[in-house]
Chains A and B, each alone.
Chain A
Amino acid sequence: MGAQLRVYKRRIKSVSATKKITKAMEMIAASRVVKAQRRVAASTPYAGELTRAVTAVATGSNTRHPLTTETDNPARAAVLLITSDRGLAGGYSSNVIKAAEQLTQRLTAQGKEVDTYIVGRKGVAYYGFRERKIAESWTGFTDNPTYADAKKIAGPLIEAVLQQTAEGGVDELHIVYTEFVSMLTQSPVDSRLLPLSLEDTAEESAKKGEILPLFDFEPSAEDVLDALLPRYVESRIYNALLQAAASKHAATRRAMKSATDNAEELIKSLTRLANAARQADITQEISEIVGGASALADASAGSD
């Protein structure tokens, strides 16, 4: 066997092995997307009811609460960036990081100081490499977030919002994550979580033609709002984590699918090259034999 042919054979073998791995990863990611989607759906009733309740309190009473009051000149904002722990997901992490960078720039242009809170090792690595300050970070659960994780994240954030700005507190809380639109589309989005714009939520429910009844509050509107808002923030963060997880799996699936396709393509062209090399070897051997035979024939004809 020719040396050239041997080299091709070896490369085909290694690309096939890679293809097997990427194919397996693609299939794992596909099954995880479905699971993650189901969890997003399971968390929807709670989030929906909570939003309704918040809207009801906000419109039904004239209570002011630090979490709903906008300060006159906000000086500091917190940005919660949700990335993933692991790569191999195409542009997933870099897209959401880019969105966070844009938001940070926008906030800085408005004269606000930005504290960054990060979920996921990819974001931590990005900020760590550039030696930027991270207020707090959480890692290790991005593939499969639980409500307890969301609570863990929400705790320090709510504390920061409730603190006075002069004592290191923040006036605004923004969240940047990847929204799961469909299996094929995931888009990074940023939204302001706090202060809650009650007008927006009220308008939304008014649009649906829903007239909110006058509620009787137990024990009082202030106490209800006090208890309700942190839960609302937790549930929003939980929802963002779940959507980010679903998006990450979908991105992985797509990246691995194109890796598998590329490997297939590569195997095909290498097989063609290997075939050509084998054919060339054969042709050369035949011409050597024919050449040798005719040389022998010439020699024996001359000796006669």
Chain B
Amino acid sequence: MAAELHVELVAADRSVWSGTASLVIARTTSGDIGVMPGHQPLLGVLESGPVTIRTSDGGTVLAAVHGGFISFADDKLSLLAEVAELSDEIDVKRAERALERAKAEADAAAERRADVRLRAVAGVH
């Protein structure tokens, strides 16, 4: 059996997802990073962006993460986020409305947040 990553995706007020995975892709401030089992211990700052988790049973979990950290050691990966939402938890209509409103108000941060949400739902990394 191939080595596995144990992944914990936690938000400030709850644990969002946990399980085993073969690959995790997240966006750090210096670019996208992919972590597979046996990766060097890593601690990075995350940007607002989508996180893709390829679970060990072949599925894919997508989440929108807004700021936070990725830390990896001993095949244990933790994604800490102030706000994190799984793609199936995201209300598309609400995110679209938020995107329009952010565009109207020229609020770049809010626009980015809404955009990340929508992209996580669409599955576009």
Contacts and interface: CB of A to CB of B under 8 A. Distances in A.
Interface stretch (B56-64, B74-82, B88-96, B107-115): B74-82
Contacts of B73: 56, 212-213, 215
Interface residues of A, number: 30
Contacts of B8: 45, 49
Interface stretch (A218-226, A259-267, A270-278): A218-226
A269 B69 CA distance: 63
Given A49-B78, A52-B71, A238 B12 contact: yes
A215 B43 contact: yes
B33 interface: yes
Interface residues of B, number: 26
Contact of A46 (B28, B41, B80): B80
Contacts of A218: 28-30, 33, 42-45, 70
Nearest to A223: B45
Contacts of A146: 13
Contacts, number: 88
B69 to A, nearest CB: 6
Interface string B21-63: 0000000111001000000111111000000000000000000
Nearest to A50: B80
Contact of A224 (B10, B11, B14, B45): B45
Interface string A226-238: 0110010011001
Given A215-B43, A215-B73, A218-B44, A49 B10 contact: yes
B78 A219 contact: no
A283 interface: no
Nearest to A242: B13
Given A39-B13, A219-B29, 16 more contacts: A42-B15, A43-B13, A43-B14, A46-B11, A46-B12, A49-B10, A56-B43, A56-B71, A147-B12, A213-B73, A215-B43, A217-B42, A218-B33, A218-B43, A218-B45, A231-B68
Interface of B: 8, 10-15, 28-30, 33, 40-45, 68-71, 73-74, 78, 80, 82
Interface of A: 39, 42-43, 45-46, 49-50, 52-53, 56-57, 146-147, 151, 212-219, 223-224, 227-228, 231, 234-235, 238
Nearest 9 A-B pairs (CB), nearest first? A218-B44, A213-B41, A147-B12, A215-B43, A219-B30, A227-B45, A213-B73, A45-B10, A215-B41
